[in-house]
Each structure stands twice: as structure tokens, then as C-alpha cells.
A and B are shown apart, each in its own frame.
Chain A
Amino acid sequence: MTETSITFPPPPADTLSDLRAEVRDFLATALANRKPRDRARTWTGFDADFSAQMGERGWIGMTWPKRYGGHERSALERYVVLEEMLAAGAPVAAHWIADRQSGPLLLKAGTEEQRQAILPRIAAGQCFFCIGMSEPDSGSDLAAARTRATPVEGGFRVNGTKLWTTYGHKSHYMILFCRTGAADDRHGGTSQLLVDLSTPGITIRPIADLSGEHHFNEVVFEDVFLPSSAVIGALGDGWNQVMGELAFERSGPERFLSSFILLVEAVRALGQSPSVAAQAAVGRLTGQIVTLRRLSRSVAGLLQRGENPALQAALVKDQGALLEQEIPEVVRTILAVEPSLRSPVDLSNVLAHIVLAAPCFSLRGGTREILRGIIARGLGLR
């Protein structure tokens, strides 16, 4: 028989109620005046002061070694902090990328100099990163990237354009995925470089999203000189580094909680005597969140044990995006509300934000089609 079973072992027991309570206490105060419309932004809400407060609490770089400013806590403790932040709609965008992927990459593949210079600042909530992967002609097909770092005396000269660079305009550094080898070596000819965004020759231009907000940027490199010390890991390791990080990027609570604040506001608007149909609709979405959270925590347990659950992570992200995109559609069927970004009514405002953000949920971090291709490969179909 074809072996197609996909195992999600029971997640580690939740023995972290003290930590959870500590985070909830902190958020109750820190976010006391944060309106639902702002909470709805969750991990796209940028607030450098809030990130610094989290750094002071020891909630960034939680799993990293203490010698790099980390706190040597478990991946599951980190998971608790993350999900509490997201469920409360805390503005975590400033440090999010650095905490989730840039820091771990430097920890794994960076030079000692890079680690010492940067990791403690990330953990303090004072150093922000953006991702330099997508390009005008390279989206899902990452290996088609054309930005090139050409060797020169003492380093590289970089030319090219990166696109959809979230918070590039507010970040200190970018991890740049670029070509350093032969043009026909799609995977082996790529590397990742650490880029200080204040380097001359870098131009950052805003791109407004559907709601008119500025998160995205186009980042243009024109004869930008980077020192040899900017290389992360070995030259030619870019593709493997990126692939190795995907399970971390795809299975976290941010992959099913993007619309959670809308569900909270819908429950508030329904009040104490909703119709049975509305109650069933809300109950269904709640059950879906509980189920996905279990799968996501199961993946966190696998990651903690050093496994690489890329298939399970793709399943969580695919199911999570479906749920995140369905929540606004369900809310529309159970509550009469017109969405408006200018409305003084919280529900209207939050619904507007989520409707306009929802298309992105199945694009960022791997499109739905790419994820399903990964799942099909995991099933042995390709």
C-alpha cells in the first residue's frame, strides 16, 4: 500500500500557564488603549516602542543563547508568547521578521562577527529586518531571482531590484537573496548577504497596498558595495538556507490568526442572544481555530525535536489561509454591516481592514498553489 499517512504527533503538554498569564497581564496594560481597528493589523502593526518593551521583557530571541542576548527558553515558550501577542492584536511587526527568521538564520549560518554585532540588538527589540527575496520577475519562482552580487576588491557590487519588501523603509537590515554564481546554476548560484540598508546606492520606494497603506516597498540596488563579511554562511548556500527556514515560516500561529480580531469583534456584536445559525457559524470558526492550533503546536513540537516537518507546515499554512479568508465571508452572513475603513464603528472598520487584507493571506509565505504542490510532492505524486 502507498504510504500516504501524514503524522501530527500529539503536541507537547501546555505547562506554561505562568508564562501565559504573565503575557496576558502585560498585554492588558500595554494595549489598554489600542482600538480594534489597530489590533486587526496584528503582525503588520509596526510600533518600535512596543518592540522595545517586548525586548525588555525577554520576549524576543527567546530561544537564542544568552551570549547573543537570547534567553535560552524553549520553542514552546516562544510559541505561547507569539500566539498571545497575535490573539491580542499586539503590534509586533517591527521585530517580527528578525525574531522569526533573520535572527535564527544568523544564529545558524552567520559569522561570529555578524552574530555578536546584531543578535543582541534584535533581542533588545531595537534592530529590525526585512526580507529580500521577491523581485519583479521572481515571485513563487524564487530561483529566477536576477539581483546579482559581483565580486570586486574587498567584497561585492550589487545591482538589482527587490519587491514587496515589507517595512523595508523602517528596517535596519535586509537579508538579500541574490545570484553570486553562474546564471544557469539556478540553486547553487545563489547566496544570502547581510545588507545594512543605510549603505549608499540603495533606494527604497513605497508601494501602497489595497487599503492604501504603506507596508510594501521596492528596494533598488545600484552599484551597492557590500564587504566580503556580508556573506551569510558559504557562498552558494542561499537556496538551501532559504528552504531550511520554510517550516519555521509556515506553521506558526500567524498562519491562522490573521483574522482573529474580526471574529472577536463579531462575537462582541452578536451579544448574548445570537440566532442558532449565527452561533453555529461562530462555533464552527472557533472549532477550526482550535483544530489548527493543535496541528500548529504539533509542528512546533517536531521543530523543537530538530525534525524538518516541511509537509506538515505546508498543510497548516494552506488550511490556515483558508480559515483566515473565510472568517470575513462568514461574518458578512451573520451580521448586517457595511465595511468601511473610515467608519467609527469598530466592526465595520475591522471588517473593512480584513476584507482588504485577505487576498494576501494565501500569497505571502508561499502561494496556495505552491503549498499544494509541496503537499502533492509529499504524497508522492510528483
Chain B
Amino acid sequence: MARILVVEDDVETAEHLVLSLREVGHSVDLAANGRDGLVLAGSGRFDVLIVDRKLPGLDGLSLVKAVRAAGQRTPVIFLTALSAIADRVDGLEGGGDDYLVKPFAIAELIARVQVLARRAENASLLTLADLEMDLVGRSVRRAGVPVNLLPREWRLLEFFMRNAGQVVTRAMLLERVWGFNFDPGTGVVETHVSRMRKKVDGGFAVELLHTVRGIGYCLRAPD
């Protein structure tokens, strides 16, 4: 699967990350400080960089800025214990593609790595099994039957389609579909997803959208 570089100085966290990512099949390299991280990241052989914000030697933000300045577009996930909202903005403006505040559930990180490792292409027609989504014509069909979606449901489905086969977490949906960087409370994501699901899967023998317990959802074609 993906080749991942973890730049993290805390030994226990680093070990936890490396083991968990290897367990799901990624090949993982580890750098314990910013300078080593920059040298390894500069080689350009990774699909995703996981970078801690606070590192000895060279801090994570400077590392990513240096990598970006060198013209590399490798996706970056920042990890941080800094929960201040301003830091998040700095991280994303500094070249990060995603931002996770410690502590986080490992499933959340794995889901985000999968999504970043397989950047969705810019197709105008998304298809999955018998589900078709025409982004230009603004229409959705399941087995040829038109499906009417509300704007929010449309954006949900588009996100699922673009990340078909990947696990998508609640927090990811809130960030990408709503633009919320906070949890508006239980029920919001579930309600909207269940309404969308009723329109897309309702009445069909094969379910495409699956709930991943305790983590989120996964839209995938039947085996």
C-alpha cells in the first residue's frame, strides 16, 4: 500500500503510529527529529508525510515549508498537541493537507492517510457499481433510476464517491462537507447520512454505503 514517513520525536507515540500503520499494510519509515525528517522527505519516495508540529532540530511547520519550497507536493498530515485554532490555520496555510489534534483515535489517522494516499482524480463522472454521479450535468442515477438529492446530500455523496472504498470518519465529513472544525453535537452527520443513504441504497438489494462502527462510513462496490 502506501509508503509513509512519520516524523515524530515522542518514542511511544511514534511506535504506536508505526505499528498501527504497518498493521493495515503500509510501509512506514520513522524520523525522530526535524532534520532527519527533512532529509528523508526530500528523497521524494513517500506517498504521505505524517509530521508532528513540535520537533527537535527543525519544527514541523518549517520542515513542511521547506519540502513545499523544494517543489514537492507529497500530501502532509500535521499532528499536534497545539489545539489553538490559529495553529490549525497556520498549519494548513504552511502547506499541510490535513491536521489532527492529539490525542486522536488511531482509526481517524488511518482513514485520513488512506484518503490522502489515494488523491481523488478530477473526473466529471463518478461511478461505483451501478451508481453514477454526473458532476457536470448535476444528476445521480442508481441502476439508471434518477436519485434526487438535497445540496448537502449531494456534497456528502460526492465526497463518498471521490473516496470510494476508503473509510471516512465523522470528523472528516464535518470538515470537508460542512466546513465545520468543531463537533456540532451528536446526530448531525448521522441524520444527513441516513437520509442520503435512504435515497441511494433504499429499495436496492445491494448496499453500497456501509457503517464502520465507532469510526464512520465506507462507500464501496460489492465484492
Q: Do A and B bind each other?
A: no
